[in-house]
A and B are shown apart, each in its own frame.
Chain A
Amino acid sequence: MTASRLATGGSAIDRSLAIRFSFDGRTVNGFVGDTIASALLANDVAIVGRSFKYHRPRGIWGAGVEEPNALVDVGGPQSTPNTRATTEPARDGLVAKSVNATPNALADRNAFLDRFSRFIPAAFYYKTFMWPDWHMFEPRIRAMAGLGKVDTDWTSPGIADQINHHCDVLVVGAGPAGLAAARLAAGAGLAVTLVDEQQRLGGSLGHRACEIDDKPAATWIEETVAELASGGHLILPSTTAFGIYDHNLVGLNQRHFDGRRDTLWRVRPRQIVLATGAIERPLPFANNDLPGILSADAALAYLRRHAVLVGRRVVVATNNDSAYEVAGALAEAGAEVTLVDIRRDGMPATPAKARPITGRALAAAKGSLRVEGVTLDDGTRLDADCVLVSGGWTPTIHLFGQAKGKLAWSEARAAFLPGDPVDGISVAGAAAGAVSLSEVFEGAQKAVASLGNTKAAVPRSTGSDATAGLTAAWPTPGSKGRIWIDYQNDVTVKDVELAARENFVSVEHLKRYTTLGMATDQGKTSNLPGLALMAGITGRTVPEVGTTTYRPPFTPVPLASFAGARLGELMAPVRRLPLENVHRAGGAVFQEYGGWLRPAHYGGRAADADRAVQDEARGARQSVALFDGSTLGKIEVIGPKAAEFVDFLYYNTMSTLKPGRCRYGFMLSENGVVFDDGVLVRLDEHRFVVSCSSSHVASVHARLEEWRQDRFGRDAVYIHNATSDMATLTVSGPNARKLLEAVNLGLSLDEAALPHMAIGNGTYGGDEVRITRVSFTGDRSYEVSIRADRAEPLWARLREAGQSLDAVIIGLEALLHRHRQGHGRHHAAA
């Protein structure tokens, strides 16, 4: 291959803005508008990577998301391993490195593996490395695995935005079908969102010659996009629809090129139009993986978008009409072109300047590090520095498949097309098997027809229109040489034959046994040829073999997009005490208990935490302790059937409880296990407070609600979870009463007025306080509950009054300490 940049042309590049970046340490020159791949081609870099298993030299195959070979690690703050060079914009100063190659793609130390390929076919590892033990071999095999490298010094450039979005119609793909469908839907008064994974809208119109409504395609694209934009419709370039999920929620990943992380969109459209195009397939011939062998359509894209001529002496091999335009364009651009067509008749006219050979297929490519020529099936040899192939087109129906759409085999297109319609999803354009622009526009019209009458006119193809004319050319069993099917994972025809021989004939077994289609490209170029070969080997038809399950994502999506802002505390927010800041100022060391962030102990660093806990516990026993028990559940049960309701809830009888008193009780789960225990307070005849464990508040509340709604009736009982309305401050110890009296809450603490298991009502600073006399330490204790937002002054007053009594503030560990001295462990009750 002797690729070069032409002096003029290139619709995507801006020649006034030169850029420079490095690839494997080599300087690469390009222009703004180049992808990494187009710039590498313009600089005649043939070998861009090494294959996963055999470390075969690999060049650029495609110009889009289907690329199996050209993966690079991009360094720097936006470092991403395994970046697809064909879709990654080149930018000044970028540092790219080939993957799976040491030290670089050109001179890879592991290239020797290819010479042993006959001994390491598909799935060889299941048959060996058992003696003496797999553990002896695994480390070295593991070291060989993987493609790109994780940068261990990487720090996150920030969080990814996540956006929920609703629209009437989501059009996926902004090629001719998508643009037409979007325009027609907009004309029907619908809110349209149009997305395309490429930076430039237009899809194939960007490099295929055509005329729409008597205008050049570029003009039509511009006008259509402008019309949609001015109509207020959302247009998202560089945005991939990667998955259709339950109830037709569509996941989009939007790229930015300004340092921001990608954005995840969750779109809920009324109607989805899939105009996702088609992907060109390779042709089967020996050594079809050599650098310099490209998709014909990609070569045309590089020529017209980036002004890159991929070779000087070019063989174009095809089984269909689409490569004719490619041959003509390259010949026009100065390449010496030989057009080899598998067909004998029914072809379009051979383009001027191209030499035709008909009724012949490629048998093999020659060359070691890059292609040097080809041999035809009649033995003819042709020199070539570049081979462009078109094996037909595979409609991109991944999203339709993800949505559980059934596929229908088309013999004419030699491809699976969307079958029975799926609710809310229509498919248009090449994804639905359309070839000519007229068919594409007709399909677009159909795709949106059911959504209402449109004021927009259906576009017309007014230039020469594409034709399909295809003769299937699948890999066949028994072929000579090594014919690649999955480039990235190194799966050849022989591997598929081996799988069949060993009874891995189910398409899913084929995939798993040979790893066909399991690489980062998810088999976009390899799946169909692979299963067609399996059909050929086993004497079945392609639809009898069937396809593997389509799984999201369509192309790899950054993990960061899924995580969004849910990192650190936002990943799982902790519950916080109303007095947290006061505790912090008081030297509290916090830990998480049942979802709550609570003081474990006060004072003391981690090293003498045990000591701090001991001191707190001793203080509580000797005099009096203050403890923040605000997390304690406070669920009010109110209503005429409240007493009957709590009897039902608790194992014990609670309806006999007198107003103003409380009683210990426990609830069982339906299967008889203790579910929660605690104190029930009866405020008055029809009003109770369930004090449940801190960590059980949500589940106890849900249980109460379910029985209320199902069994007792919404009018008979009302439930209010007041847990976070009130702070509960506990005073416990021999001097508890003395301390509380010093604070003066306006009620008598006499034994007669407030005996054990009774409640009293007082006030503090004009606010009502509820005092519950219960004890879980064995010493006299009072739980003082007050409005959460008024708790701080009361706490301060308690501390102040406690000074003369040597009061201590205790954390949860000291409270748990008592359990370790004889009580059962039950910190949740605290």
Chain B
Amino acid sequence: MQLFPCPFCGPRDETEFHYGGDAGNVRPDGADVPIDRWAGYLYLRGNPKGTAREIWVHMNCGEFFVMERDTVTHKVLSSTALGGEHAA
């Protein structure tokens, strides 16, 4: 059982959280976005082995946040409130 630090509620059991995708995955804007750019946004992932920056939601309080953690050791490095992760 991992402990994740919700920036609003403090450390809680992993079962209270839901993974919300890559942080910093910028959503294309406008009408003339090339297909590859859309496909990249929608599907292509870094999926790093090691340090990852991810969006998580603490389901109990409903707040989203960005968490940095190691996908091999499961060590949590940081967590901050969400804001502007999908913006250019």
* A residues with CB within 8 A of B: 245-247, 249, 266, 268, 404, 670-671, 702, 705-706, 709-711, 713
Contacts and interface: CB of A to CB of B under 8 A. Distances in A.
Interface in B13-66: 14, 18, 20, 27, 41-43, 55, 57, 62-64
Contacts of A702: 18, 57
B84 A245 contact: no
A247 B74 CA distance: 8
User: Which of B42, B57, B82 has the largest count of A CB atoms less than 10 A from its CB?
Assistant: B82
A705 B2 contact: no
B85 interface: yes
B1 A706 contact: no
Contacts of B18: 702
B64 A709 contact: yes
Given A268-B3, A709-B81, A711-B84, 11 more contacts: A246-B14, A247-B2, A247-B74, A671-B42, A702-B18, A706-B57, A706-B82, A710-B55, A710-B64, A710-B85, A711-B87
B2 A710 contact: no
A594 B2 CA distance: 29
Closest 10 CB pairs of A and B: A249-B1, A246-B2, A709-B64, A671-B42, A709-B82, A246-B74, A247-B2, A247-B3, A710-B82, A710-B85
Contacts of A404: 73
B87 A706 contact: no
Nearest to A719: B62
Contacts of A249: 1
A709 B61 CA distance: 13
- Helix, strand, loop or mixed for chain B's interface? loop
Given A266-B1, A670-B42, A710 B86 contact: yes
Nearest to A706: B64
A690 to B, nearest CB: 16
Contacts, number: 46
B83 interface: yes
A625 B2 CA distance: 51
Contacts of A670: 27, 41-42
30 contacts: A245-B1, A246-B1, A246-B2, A246-B14, A246-B74, A247-B1, A247-B3, A247-B74, A268-B1, A268-B3, A670-B41, A670-B42, A702-B57, A705-B57, A705-B62, A705-B64, A706-B20, A706-B57, A706-B82, A709-B64, A709-B81, A709-B82, A710-B55, A710-B64, A710-B85, A710-B86, A710-B87, A711-B86, A711-B87, A713-B83
A380 B46 CA distance: 69
Among A247, A670, A711, A713, chain B packs the most CB atoms within 10 A around the CB of: A247
A818 B73 CA distance: 54
Given A247-B74, A671-B42, A710 B83 contact: yes
Contacts of B41: 670
Contacts of A268: 1, 3
A645 to B, nearest CB: 14
Given A247-B2, A702-B57, A710 B42 contact: no
Contacts of A706: 20, 55, 57, 64, 82
Contacts of B84: 710-711
B65 to A, nearest CB: 9
Contacts of A247: 1-3, 74
